[in-house]
Amino acid sequence: MTHAIRVHETGGPEKLRWEVVEVGKPGAGEVRLRHTAIGVDYADIYYRTGVYPTALPIVPGHEAVGIVEEVGAGVNDVSIGDRVAYVTQEIGAYAETRVIPSRHLIRLPPAISDNEAAAIILKGMTVRYLVCETYNVKANDVVLVHAAAGGVGLVLCQWLKHLGATVIGTVSNEHKAELAKANGCAHTIDYTREDFVQRVHDLTDGRKVPVVYDSIGKDTFARSLDCLAPEGLLIVFGHTSGKVTPFDLMLLATKGSLYVTRPTLWSRLKNKEDLVSRANEVFSKVGEGTVRITIGQTYPLREAPRAHMDLESRKTIGTTILSV
Ligand SMILES: NC(=O)c1ccc[n+]([C@@H]2O[C@H](COP(=O)([O-])OP(=O)(O)OC[C@H]3O[C@@H](n4cnc5c(N)ncnc54)[C@H](OP(=O)(O)O)[C@@H]3O)[C@@H](O)[C@H]2O)c1
């Protein structure tokens, strides 16, 4: 038996229930992992609220770090006692212990702590595809990043700066503005008080930007389009304010032959090779100092409701960790 956070019906943070659950023995190709650190992602909230519909009950969570406790038949890539991390579309990370296929596991370099690995692995891989694949960022690009002081945001700003881009970041308060500036933003805009379209126009002398990284969705979508130069790309990679409502495609024509995409990390992780090579690239970016990890807040796993409450009410900075 172990403890896990389960959701039996969708709703607010109070629907995250700390329960005793049974963990079976690992089957063929599986291991049983004792978690030490779990990364919180905004997607965990989409599952809890039903924005991502799924059969219930669920244990949320896409990523964690832990120690291999038992291996099933045919597992030869990890051994009992190994320290590993995983990122997978198969939710279930909000638990003290989990059985999981070994193909999802990544060995951790000694220099990175459990909390750091849980904080960076999914977010780092996300940023990697956003800046190198969804759009190939070039030196001297001026780019707009919403929620610049968030978990993904701080990593994104640092990676963009490393590529030579000038980053304009939106944030909701002064503290977040300072943090975003310390992590690669050349300019910040408080989008709760300022007109970010006008500020982007002014900061770029009317040229606007070739790409906008928008994880806010509904509240920012239309205005993000207005920040784009002709043939610019709006990357909607999340929707913390709600899903983007349907729109007339002609809007993209009238605003200058624009592009919109809604990508997901899961399309980029097709096999173990993808997973390991991307994870190692993220770890080397951390090792060489290109990306610093900001763990803004840590909660015991059983206090996951408080973690969700703080994340949803925009109180958090950087990444949130659940410790076990
Ligand atoms: N597509 C992918 O592959 C992928 C992978 C990972 C994450 N994501 C997405 O990336 C985004 C960031 O995830 P994260 O875990 O790092 O979260 P986060 O950015 O740390 O937290 C969300 C931030 O969004 C901002 N925000 C603006 N309007 C909001 C609203 N109405 N409600 C709540 N927050 C609002 C807040 O920053 P301010 O206070 O500064 O406004 C808040 O701190 C999420 O949308 C997530 O789904 C996508």
Nearest residue to 31 via CA among 65, 64, 80: 80
Q: What pLDDT shows up at residue 50?
A: 96
Residue segments in the chain with a per-residue pLDDT below the cut of 70: none
Beta partners for 100?
A: 31
- How far is ligand 1, taken at its centre, from the CA of residue 238, in Å? 7
What is the Cα–Cα distance from 309 to 56, expressed in whole angstroms? 21
Query: Which amino acid appears at position 307 of this protein?
Result: A
Start-end of H helices in 64-195: 114-129, 151-162, 174-182
Atom of ligand 1 nearest to the CA of 217: 45
Q: Is 169 in the pocket of ligand 1 (CB under 6 A)?
A: no
Per-residue pLDDT at 169:
99
What's the pLDDT at 256?
Answer: 98
How many other β-carbons are positioned within 10 Å of the β-carbon of residue 270?
Answer: 9
Ligand 1 centroid to Cα of residue 264, in Å, is: 14
- CA–CA separation, 31 vs 40, rounded Å? 22
Distance 51 CA to ligand 1 centre (A): 14
Tens digit of each residue's pLDDT (9 = 90 or more) over 307-322: 999 999 999 999 999 9
User: Ligand 1 pocket, 237 CB below 6 A?
Assistant: yes
pLDDT tens for 66-116 read 999 999 999 999 999 999 999 999 999 999 999 999 999 999 999 999 999
Atom 24, ligand 1: residue with shortest CA distance: 147
List Cβ neighbours of 95 (8 Å cut-off, separation of 6 or more).
2, 3, 4, 5, 21, 23, 35, 59, 61, 301
Lookup: tokens for 20: 């005793």
285: enclosing H helix or E strand = helix 272-287
Task: Give the mutation target among 41, 42, 170, 310 for probing the ligand 1 site: most ligand atoms within 8 A of CB.
Answer: 42
Distance 234 CA to ligand 1 centre (A): 16
> What percent of the chain stands above pLDDT 90?
100
Report d(CA 172, CA 178) in Å as an integer.
11
Q: How far apart are alpha carbons 301 and 311 in whole angstroms? A: 15
Best probe residue, ligand 1, of 215, 244, 316 (max atoms within 8 Å of C-beta): 215
Tokens of 236: 């909607």
| 2 within ligand 1 shell (Cβ under 6 A) | no
pLDDT tens-digit map of 61-73? 999 999 999 999 9
pTM of the full predicted structure? 0.98
Q: Are 266 and 275 in contact (CB under 8 A)?
A: no
Contact 136 CB / ligand 1 (< 6 Å): no
Ligand 1 atom 30 nearest Cα: 241
Instruction: Give the residue whose CA is nearest to atom 8 of ligand 1.
Output: 238
pLDDT on residue 319: 98
